Structure 1
Amino acid sequence: MQLRTALTYTAPILSASLALGALAAPAAAFSMNSGEKFGTDGLLFTEDTEVTFDFGNTFGAYVSSLGIYEVDGTTTTEVKTLFSETDQADDGQDATTGWVGTSGGAGSVVANSTASYIFKANVEYALGLASRRSDGSLVNTVFSSNSLNSFGGENTQQFVFGSHGAFDGSQNNDTQTFDNPEDFISGNPLAGSLALGIDDRGNNNDRDFQDMVLSAQAKRASAGVPEPSVVFGLAAMAGGFASLRRRRDS
């Protein structure tokens, strides 16, 4: 086979292989764009972005429900319920064990362990934890955006980003306050799994930030669409094989 002919066959195939290799390579961590935020000053992306939340557990006797809210000034509209407790705690859990709530198992108080939502570009959101008594009456709703929380005449911090709160959310806590929530006011879920901890102001506002603990990880909603170079490479591969077949059959 002449060199020119061989290059004719192999060049498009090599191009496609390189493109496919790039597509198959592990995804790199992404930085957030200018103007994007994920923290106590709001949740905002400049591109459609899918965020997947992984439930950890809850502590406390409130019946809790975590949702995503669109925010317009001080007006909030729930657009997605992520995790919702059906009772105060798992079967067999009570005040002596800290009212522990888990997900996905027999007797668990939360049915699902993961939930996802596509945050629309340039729309501001907040997470909101609604707490109810066992009779269904609402106690309060605390939000991830400080500006939406007004308790005692001030805008308070009820979420931490990058931590699961006191004891890292691993055990019930009735005495330990999480001392430095102001050091955990934002994070980048595009860079990997980001821990979140929430304080519902229960237990005399103990500020342990572990009444619900979970994690969040994000990816751009367009990440699954092949790059133009990949599409071109696949087309080139198909064309190369077709050309090879025609020459062989002639």
Structure 2
Amino acid sequence: MDLKKTSTVLGLAVGSALALSAMPAEAATVEFGNNGILFDEDTTIDFEFLQSQGKFQSELFIVEAANPTDPVFTLFTENEPFDDTSPDFIGTCPTSVTVPGSSSCTNWFTFEANVEYSLALFSGENTPAGTNGYVYSTDALNNPAGQQAFVFDGVVLPPYTGPGDISADPALGKVTIGFDDKGNANDADYQDFIVTAMVTESVPEPATLAGLGLVAGSLTLIRRRQANKKS
């Protein structure tokens, strides 16, 4: 067997596969923030509940912008308005808030490509008269239209010393979304329900899988040649 030739082929195969796997995936985020949530390819986002603050008992949904009062997915449910031992109406997971039907503090959702979404916080009868109980991360969906959520790059907990970003990219790392639920005279504190969002690790691209397949094929070829030589 020509070991020099075989090792060269194997080296090229491994090198190609590693190079392909190291190539960053093309960013899929079109918008993630106060102007809406939109991706140009199917994108899975991991959400983590951080904290709630206030006497309201809320739920956080994902909705399509075209039908904002018809939730397509429930991210987190506040089973109690706040922790019994909290001095400032703070709710934590899993004491007060969980993923529906579990004790988990994390949830995920796959956003379909080219469908505009929004996060929607529902606080039921505790909202001011004349509203439908929802506030949205998308400004245009609020009634009246305006900002009821702030987006922050990174993991940010209150107290907030200034406004957040209008948008951020969850493909680059964790993004914090803080809601104001219109309670307490719509005080715009953006700490009534706080979660983080981040694009989940993606599976290898087809090109990467092809490169890894080339490595596996090369190893198989080497074994067969060694077996033929022994026989």
Residue of structure 1 aligned with 2:12, choices 10, 15, 24? 15
Q: 1:40 to 1:179 in 2, by over 3 A?
A: same
Give the Cα separation in 2 of the matches to 1:242 and 1:76. 62
TM-score scaled by length of structure 1: 0.76
Partner of 1:175: none
Q: Cα RMSD (Å) of the superposition?
A: 2.9
1:98 to 2:88 alignment: yes
Q: Please say if residues 52 and 116 of structure 1, whose CA atoms lie closer than 8 Å, have aligned partners that are also in contact.
A: yes
Structure 1 moving runs of 4+ over 6 Å:
none
Partner of 1:123: 115
Shift of 1:7: 2.8
Residue of structure 2 aligned with 1:87, choices 80, 84, 95? 80
Q: Please say if residues 178 and 190 of structure 2, whose CA atoms lie closer than 8 Å, have aligned partners that are also in contact.
A: yes
Shift of 1:83: 0.8
Per-residue CA deviations over 1:185-207 (Å, capped at 9, x if unaligned) read 10000001111111111111110
Shift of 1:217: 0.5
Q: 1:202 to 1:224 in 2, by over 3 A?
A: farther
Give the Cα separation in 1 of the matches to 2:44 and 2:205. 11
Partner of 1:174: none
Q: Please say if residues 153 and 168 of structure 2, whose CA atoms lie closer than 8 Å, have aligned partners that are also in contact.
A: no
Q: Please say if residues 42 and 144 of structure 1, whose CA atoms lie closer than 8 Å, have aligned partners that are also in contact.
A: yes
Give the Cα separation in 2 of the matches to 1:115 and 1:78. 15
Give the Cα separation in 1 of the matches to 2:132 and 2:104. 24
State the one-letter code of the partner of 2:14.
S
Shift of 1:59: 0.1
TM-score scaled by length of structure 2: 0.82
Count of residue pairs the alignment pairs up: 222
Q: 1:144 to 1:18 in 2, by over 3 A?
A: same
**After superposition, where does 1:143-222 map in structure 2 within 5 Å?**
143-151=136-144, 155-162=145-152, 168-170=156-158, 181=163, 184-219=165-200, 222=203
State the one-letter code of the partner of 1:186.
S
Q: Please say if residues 47 and 196 of structure 2, whose CA atoms lie closer than 8 Å, have aligned partners that are also in contact.
A: yes
Q: Please say if residues 76 and 97 of structure 2, whose CA atoms lie closer than 8 Å, have aligned partners that are also in contact.
A: no
Identity of aligned residues (%): 30
Give the Cα separation in 2 of the matches to 1:99 and 1:164. 24
State the one-letter code of the partner of 2:79.
T
Q: Please say if residues 50 and 116 of structure 1, whose CA atoms lie closer than 8 Å, have aligned partners that are also in contact.
A: yes
Shift of 1:40: 1.0
**Uncovered stretches (5+) of structure 2, i.e. residues with no partner:** none
Q: 1:194 to 1:223 in 2, by over 3 A?
A: farther
**Uncovered stretches (5+) of structure 1, i.e. residues with no partner:** 172-177
Is the partner of 1:63 in helix, strand or coil? coil
